Amino acid sequence: MNFELKPMGLVGASTEKCDALIVLVPQDFKGGKDDLSVLVAQAIKSADLETKTGKLLPLYRPVQANAARVVLAGVGSGSARDVRAAVIAAVASVKTASLKKLMVCFAAPAREEAVRAVVTAVAEATYVYTHTKSKPEGRTLSKVLVGASNATEVQATFDRAVGIVAGSELAKEWANRPANHATPTLLGKAAQELAKLPKISCEVLGPKEVAKLGMGSFMAVAQGSDQPLRFIVLHYNGAAKLQAPTVLVGKGITFDCGGISIKPAPEMDEMKFDMSGAASVLGTFRALAALKPAINVVGLIAACENLINGQAAKPGDVVTSMSGQTIEILNTDAEGRLVLCDALTYAERFKPTAVVDIATLTGACVIALGGVRSGLFSTQDALADALFAAGDAAQDLCWRMPLDDEYAEGLKTTFADIANVGGRAGGSITAAKFLQRFAEKFPWAHLDIAGTAWKSGAAKGATGRPVGLLVEYLLGQARNT
């Protein structure tokens, strides 16, 4: 699907030949004397069109436009949230097999955040998963024009949004694939495919290399599966070699049954999404290749399955992490932190400016924040503030959670340096406190995306989050260097 920003208002949009035209009408609409503007004004005056968010007036082949279908869509105040809701509703009303070329036009000068919202909303509303369908019926929409009278002013934001969509859709694709189509080996191959893009290189380590590194915690999780683990190292080199990189660490549990601490059967199929952190790293690198910011970024993905066989880790086992710290595994379903801790230690070798790990880590974070905001934990205020602001800008929201030392009390154990769980109370925080022990040598943040990485129910599927947040953050770092 190709996006193009065109410098035009309603006059130009009315002459554009397309399958559908969506006109975004704000509550303070003041039209001109052209036919389409007059049509919009009359519809408002007669109360056939309300400018409240998401209110639609569908038209078929009106003489005032050259489109087969026209939808006048109210966008309220014109904020990013209002525009997003309106576009999703409007696209749903015109999405048919014949929709190949779509135009979305602002009836008033566009805000930057609203332009971003149009691009991401169109992509979300038309995304179709096809990989494992015998007779796939994919997205028919191939061309999207976005019309704005102030196109020059918002071009950079538009380009950024298009890059983020490319990354988000790659993240969705891999997160949506069932576990037998997204094994650790296949994730490694997906990363190697990214290395064909500009400025990206990739190295994939297998069990022997990981054992040589001493990643005993990571290996303990992987030993319950016949699928060999993979440790993926991606590099995006957009700046001078001497410039310290930002490191992204993605949890890549390609399927999680909980190990011996087995999960309940209902909805266990959704544990294919437990590699959404890894998928977001892949997606972020896809966006970096498109946007080419002047920054260096390293992506680390610890990929394996958490299953049960005769070799599986047992509650009470003690393993030695790459850092040398010993860990008592009290719950084998708290495996994400066990693979991430070794990846965090590996990150030290890059002397990074910051490390951000991304993981579907705890059900406790879902209870705390639901599916609206990701949980944000950080040891550095400046890093936390930058990530929070990036989430706001990308409409990929997060919320900062505490890291008081008292929360680590439950992780104490008689038999090792640290236990991998600390009880139910404050579970997302104790998980973050566990990771913090392995992230003391660099500015660090942790994003718990357990509530935001996918949706359940009738709309089941990956969201592509938090690719938007991560890309926005990285672009901000590139501007500040």
- CB burial of residue 233 (10 Å; 0-12, 13-18, 19+): middle
Tell me how far apart the alpha carbons of residues 353 and 239 are, in angstroms, rounded to a whole number: 14
Q: Could you count the other beta carbons within 10 Å of the beta carbon of residue 69? A: 21
* Below-70 pLDDT ranges, the chain: none
The torsion region of residue 198 among left (phi > 0), alpha (psi -120 to 50) and beta comes to beta
CA–CA separation, 379 and 343 (whole Å): 18
Question: Minimal CA–CA distance to 342: which of 439, 276, 426, 246?
Answer: 439
- Output the pLDDT for position 31: 80
The residue from 177, 337, 373, 433 that is catalytic is: 337
Across the chain, how many H-helices and E-strands are there?
A: 14, 19
The dihedral over CA atoms of 449, 450, 453, 455, expressed in degrees to the nearest 10, equals -150
Residue 354 pairs in a beta bridge with: 246
Rounded to whole angstroms, the Cα distance separating 155 from 163 reads 12
In DSSP terms, which residues pair with 318 in a beta bridge?
Answer: 328
Could you give the C-alpha distances from 116 to 57, 175, 407, in angstroms and in order? Answer: 23, 23, 39
Distance between CA atoms of residues 336 and 251, nearest Å: 6
263 is annotated as an active-site residue: yes
Same fold? 2-150, 172-480: no
State both tokens at 472. Answer: 């926005």
**255-308 tens-digit pLDDT:** 999 999 999 999 999 999 999 999 999 999 999 999 999 999 999 999 999 999
Q: For 43-86, write each residue's pLDDT tens digit.
A: 999 999 999 998 999 999 999 999 999 999 999 999 999 999 99
What is the rounded distance in angstroms from the CA atom of residue 390 to the CA atom of residue 396?
A: 8
Q: Please tell me the predicted confidence (pLDDT) of residue 59.
A: 97
Place of tokens 């290996």: 219
Per-residue pLDDT of 10-29, as tens digits, reads: 999 999 999 999 999 999 99
Report the alpha-carbon distance of residue 62 to residue 50 in Å, rounded.
19
Which CATH superfamily does the domain covering 172-480 fall into?
Zn peptidases (3.40.630.10)
Please identify which of the residues 95, 263, 441, 455 carries the catalytic annotation: 263
Residue 429 pLDDT: 98
Please indicate, yes or no, whether the overall pTM of this predicted structure exceeds 0.85. yes
49/40 Cα distance (integer angstroms): 8
CB atoms within 10 A of CB 184: 28
Conformational region of residue 75, where left means phi above 0, alpha means psi within -120 to 50, and beta covers everything else:
alpha
2-150 CATH pick, 3.40.190.10, 1.10.10.10, 3.40.220.10, 3.40.50.300: 3.40.220.10
Give the position of tokens 């949706």: 455
d(CA 60, CA 33): 22
Integer Cα distance of 73 and 20 in angstroms: 13
373 is catalytic: no
- Distance separating alpha carbons of residues 204 and 215, to the nearest angstrom: 15
Please give the structure tokens belonging to residue 238.
Answer: 């957009």
The continuous run of DSSP H or E covering 70 comes out as strand 67-74
| Sign of the four-CA dihedral 40, 41, 42, 48 | positive
Residue 158 and residue 57: Cα distance in Å, rounded? 26
> Contact 51/74 with Cβ under 8 angstroms?
yes
DSSP β-ladder status, 317-320 and 398-400: unpaired
For the chain, the structural domain boundaries read 2-150, 172-480
What is the SS3 assignment for 138? coil
Write the DSSP symbol of residue 262.
P
Q: What is the 3-state secondary structure (H, E, C) of 291-355?
A: HCCCCEEEEEEEEEEECCCCCCCCCCEEEECCCCCEEEECCCCCCHHHHHHHHHHHHHHHCCCEE
447 within 8 A of 356, measured Cβ to Cβ: yes
